[in-house]
Every structure is written in C-alpha cells, then in structure tokens.
Structure 1
Amino acid sequence: MKTLLFIGHPGHELLAYKLLLSEKPDVVYLTTGSGNKNKSRIHESINLVNSLGLEVLFPFEPFSDRQIYDLILQRDYEPFLILLDTLEVLCEEKGYERVIGDALEGFNPSHDICRYLINGLVSRLMSNNKELANYDFLQDELHKGQDTIKEDSIVLDLSEDELQEKLKACVDYGELKFEVERFMESFGLDFFKKECFRRVTDLTKVINWDSEVPFYEEHGRRRVNEGVYEKLISFNENIKPLALALLR
C-alpha cells in the first residue's frame, strides 16, 4: 500500500523503523527538530531514511521549532493552511492510499499540529470522495509504557536482525543518543521490539488528555516562571483555534 509517513520532529522515524523497512513509505517532516538551541537535526534523519533506500520529500520547507512557536504565539495560522493545501496536492500527485503520523497527545505542540494537519487532510480528501487510510503512533504515552493495541491497529514485530539494526540506528543518532539510552535503561530491549500504528477514525478530535491543560502548557508555564521562555503557548488561546481551522 502506497504510504506517506508524516512526522512532526526528525527522530520519530526511529519509532517506525520496521515500517520503513516493510512498507517503504515516502517521508515528510513538519519541523527540523532544532529545539531551543536552533540546531537542526533533520540531516541525521535524512541520512537514516536514505540509507534504507527511501526518500525524504520536501513539498514545503520544514519549520524550525522557533518559527513554528512564533507562528503559534502570533496566531498566524495562514502558513499551516497553505501547508495543508500542499499536502493535499502531494497526495493527489503521488496517489497515497495511507498516511501515518504523530498521535494527538498534548505532549508537544508540533506533534499535535502534525496530527491536526493529517486529520484535516483526510477530511478534505473524503469530502472529494477520495479515501486515505489514517493511522497514528504514540510518542509520549509509548515512552510511559501506556501503549494501546486495538483490533484495527497495524502491529509490526521486529526479527532479531531487524532489532539489532534498529538499535544501532538509535544509538548512532547523535542528537537523540541520551534519550535512547534512557529508554533502554527504563524499558529494556522489549521497548524496541514492537511497533504499533493505530487506526484513526475521529477526524474532529482536538483534545486527547484528561488533565485540565495539556502537558506542554504545564511545562511551558514552569519555563516562563523560570525565565527560560518569554511567552506561554496556551491550548485554548493558541492551539485550539489552529486545530479548528485545520479540521474545518
């Protein structure tokens, strides 16, 4: 099945390594993964994807994290709507039958925007009588060991050789080495042996957390109080209007 893997941050493809091997998707990144230090890590992901004989596409120039946060704080949603148009054209040109991308978790605004874009894209195509199977994969909840597998999920088990190959790719990814080692210590090798991609059917969902505010807002408030961030990204003021615009 011709597949598009649309990823919020470079490095997420490590959680879809078996998918890269077995389904051979085209890969598109929303951001460069530059973080607060404005140092891009997308080159490492491009090298990894290319080493597997796959292609990273650039239908648009990925945002730096600083750019995406500035747009959110300024409530300038037009670039995201243009990006949605671009993704729609890409799907029509490439004839994708399935799209897989970040889950809605409230952990990071860019991850959630990636999901809103995907759901908005699928909704648009459906309105034009075109089908695009829609799947997500967890980032934060998976790291907490709270994976959920349903009957309509795609579950991929890695062979021993594939596992060793994946582990090497994880360790060799310099920008994420510390995080990878932390997961190994916390969860062991079992964490890396299985990949789960969940079918998404609710295209209107904007919230997927039980707390009063998402994690990124709680974390952002602490960072503002510490003087690290100047302004707070609020779900109600900044993210929800963008989500509704993309899902409209």
Structure 2
Amino acid sequence: MADAGASPAANFFGKMSDRELYRAVLAGEIETFRALADEITAIFAGEEVDYVAADAVEGFNPGHDVCRLLVNAALGRLRDRNGRDLPNLEFPLEAVELRRETTMQEGIKLDLDAGAFERKLKAVDNYPELTEEADRLRAAHGLVSFGVEHLTPVNYFLDISKCCEQPPAYERWGEERVKSGYYKTVLRFKDHVEPIARQLAN
C-alpha cells in the first residue's frame, strides 16, 4: 500500500474479517452496516477526496458486493449532508472489464508502466491468502490483463439486482459448500444482501 503512495484510514482499515462480515450479513445486522456507512461518510468528509474507486458488484463474492453497497450509501449520505457529489467509480475483481450501460470513454483506463506492474504482481505474491485466487485469474485472463485497470462510473445506487446474474454465482458455490458440510447456511442475495440494500436506502 505504501509503495503505491496510499495510506490506510485510521481505525477503519481491516475493520472486519471476512468471517465477521459474512456473519453480520447472514444475521441481518443492519445497524452494523449503517454504522459502517456512517464511518465511511465521515472519512470522505474529512479527507481531500477527488473521486472514489471501490469493488464492483459481480455476484462472485458477497463481501465485495456488500462493500459496494456501503460505499454507495456513504456517498449518498455525503451528498445529502454536505452537498458534496464525488465521482463514484468501480473496478472488477473477477472480469477483465465490466459490461455496464456506461462506456469506457466515460471512465478511466490505466495502463500500468513496468514498475507499477511489477509492484502489483509482487503485492499479490506477498499475500499468501490470495495465491489460489491470483493463480485462477492468471489462468483465466492471462498475465497481461493484470497490466490494465478499468475504472467505470457507477450509474446505480443501492439497487444492485441487475448488476450481475440472478441468482448470483456465490449462491451456487454456497449450496455446494452446504452439501459438503463446510457451510451451515447458504448466503443468498434475496434473503440476506438485498434487505441490507433496502435498509441502507432508508
């Protein structure tokens, strides 16, 4: 992170583990997510932010999709409370680029130079927990795809039902994990994620 010139937000970076996030989603702990959205709003209000870039909704990882909901909710709160309307961009973690109604002419395409490309690959290699995912994506898209970053404007708020296939892929994987005994409950879009979106909208 420091090598890229970035710094974490104090007392927020690494706020929850994946396990804690999934538990809160399954339990429908809306106050937890409202509090997180308010914290993000305060960070945006207190920093010199030019634009926001965050995970895209892809239906692959519910944690990523919920993070996108939190960012969108925070930007809505910032606009309503402070009158600031920050540009809102998303980037894919699974696909090479997103298929949205907006076009790339409206977004940002970053072609990484050799140094940035090398730092990106090194960062992945230094994070053992991501090794399996990185290897899968390299096999699917090729190493060259890691050298380009696509930031696409977000043209939706908290209704993410049309941002990916329904039911999303994570439900199928959840069903397989439940059958194998690895999970006890399938995390579902309609039952768990969409209610959070509705409550954040209120």
Q: What is the TM-score of this pair, normalised by structure 1?
A: 0.72
1:45 alignment counterpart: none
Does residue 117 (structure 1) correspond to residue 70 (structure 2)? The answer is: yes
How far apart, CA to CA, are the structure 2 residues paired with 1:160 and 1:107? 29
Partner of 1:7: none
CA distance in 2, matches of 1:184, 1:106: 20
The structure-2 alpha-carbon separation of the partners of 1:180 and 1:93, relative to structure 1 and needing over 3 Å to count, comes to same
Identity %: 31
Number of residue-to-residue matches in the alignment = 196
1:245 aligns to 2:199 (yes or no): yes
Matched ranges for 1:1-248 at <5 A? 49-60=1-12, 62-128=15-81, 129-142=83-96, 147-148=98-99, 150-207=104-161, 208-211=163-166, 213-248=167-202
Gaps of 5+ in 2: none
CA distance in 2, matches of 1:141, 1:50: 26
Structure 1 unaligned runs (5+)? 1-48
**SS of alignment partner, residue 156 of structure 2:** coil
1:76-110, CA deviations, whole angstroms, 9 ceiling, x for partnerless residues?
Answer: 11111011111111111113231110001111111
Letter in structure 2 aligned against 1:122: L
* Cα shift readout 1:26-73 (whole Å, capped 9, x = no counterpart): xxxxxxxxxxxxxxxxxxxxxxx1244431123436112221122122
Is the 8 Å Cα contact of residues 9 and 43 (structure 2) preserved in structure 1? no
1:24 paired residue number: none
77 and 151 in structure 1: CA distance in 2 versus 1, 3 angstrom threshold: same
SS of residue matched to 1:140 = coil
Asked if the contact 1:59–1:90 (Cα under 8 Å) also holds between the matched residues in 2, the reply is no
Residues 169-208 of structure 1, C-alpha deviations (whole Å, 9 max, x = no match): 3333322233323333443331111110101122132211
Does the 8 Å contact 1:137/1:196 carry over to 2? yes
- Equivalent pair of 2:54/2:90 in contact (CA under 8 Å): yes
**Greater RCO, CA 8 A, separation 6+:** 2
